[in-house]
Amino acid sequence: MTINARILGAAAGGGLPQWNCGCANCNAARAGEIPPQSQSSVAVSGNGRDWAILNASPDIRDQMAKCTAVHPTGLRQLPLKSVLVTNGDIDHVAGLLVLRESQPFTLFATAEIHDVLAANPIFDALRDDCVSRSRIALDQPFELVPDLTATLFAVPGKVPLYLEGDVVKTDLVGEQTVGVELIAGNKRAYYIPGCAHVPADLADRLRGADLVMFDGTLWSDNEMIRAGLSQKTGQRMGHISISGPDGSMTAMQDLNIKQKVYVHMNNSNPVIDPRSDQTRQAEQGGWTIGRDGMEIEI
Ligand code: MLT
Ligand code: MN
Ligand code: ZN
């Protein structure tokens, strides 16, 4: 058995270029010097026929148009059978509104994330008689699509930006931010686009995996402040950085993971420019920088 993954969108919320951003990376993408990247989403399959999309980005319409694996096979027959969202962030749920054309699919998420969607009537555009909303308990395996089993597990994170109160806890461990384990036969893959740090139990879970697609939002915690783009650190956004002693490269260097791929890169991250020194450093550290359209088979 094999697991197929297609990176539909490798960028974090905002994408590359971000509409209102004049940073060096966004300008380079506008000038055609580096490839634009769309917002965070991956399509996965365990048999090459039935596909699930992990996170529905606002770019999903264009992403699906570019991904032949999910094109219709009949008038309204689609290889896309299910959609799973790992948190309630806008970059991961806004694309659900694009999928409102009375096409049956199953929407998987934790109960907490389903409650966030249910509290917002605009998502009623996904009619109950078409889209079945399946509430998934943590650490309970379920069939994501035929021949591919998934399990959701809590990773440190925070509530979506639009639900933040006055006091924000950025490393909540519960149903608001999850990672996905994917199993087909003896193959084991992970998709974790948002994660505030790597606690020991997460490291143990990932040990020996065939593939890990992981939160590559920022290269360093204060890069957006240094670039004058924002007052926020990565930690404040609930995202671990790639580099440094507390970064994900260090946290995962000795876990014997066969293939490590960064996803969900912010446009401030130097690795979003394939020409950067940091891209080379990440590659020397055993990582691949995810890019739109990348196909991975394990
Ligand atoms: C994040 O990943 O931190 C969020 O997507 C940020 C946002 O909602 O803009
Ligand atoms: Mn995001
Ligand atoms: Zn930018």
pLDDT score of 32 = 98
Under the banding of pLDDT at 50, 70 and 90, the label for residue 54 is very high
As given in the structure block, the two tokens for residue 170 are 């950025």
Give the residue whose CA is nearest to atom 9 of ligand 1.
Answer: 13
Nearest atom (ligand 1) to Cα of 90: 8
Spans of all domains in the chain: 4-297
pLDDT at 279: 98
What integer is the mean pLDDT of 62-89?
A: 98
Q: Which of 161, 168, 229 for mutating ligand 1's site (highest number of atoms within 8 Å of CB)?
A: 161
Closest atom of ligand 1 to 237 CA is 3
Tokens 């960028």 belong to which residue? 11
Q: For all residues of the chain together, what is the average pLDDT?
A: 98
Asked if 45 and 145 touch (Cβ cutoff 8 Å), the reply is yes
The binding-site residues of ligand 1, defined as CB within 6 angstroms of any ligand atom, are: 12-13, 89-91, 161, 194, 237
- From the number of C-beta atoms within 10 Å of its C-beta (0-12, 13-18, 19+), residue 98 rates as middle
CA 50, 137, 216, 58 torsion-angle sign: positive
Q: CB of 25 within 8 A of CB of 15?
A: no
Statement: 4-297 belongs to CATH 3.40.30.10: no
The model scores a pTM over 0.95: yes
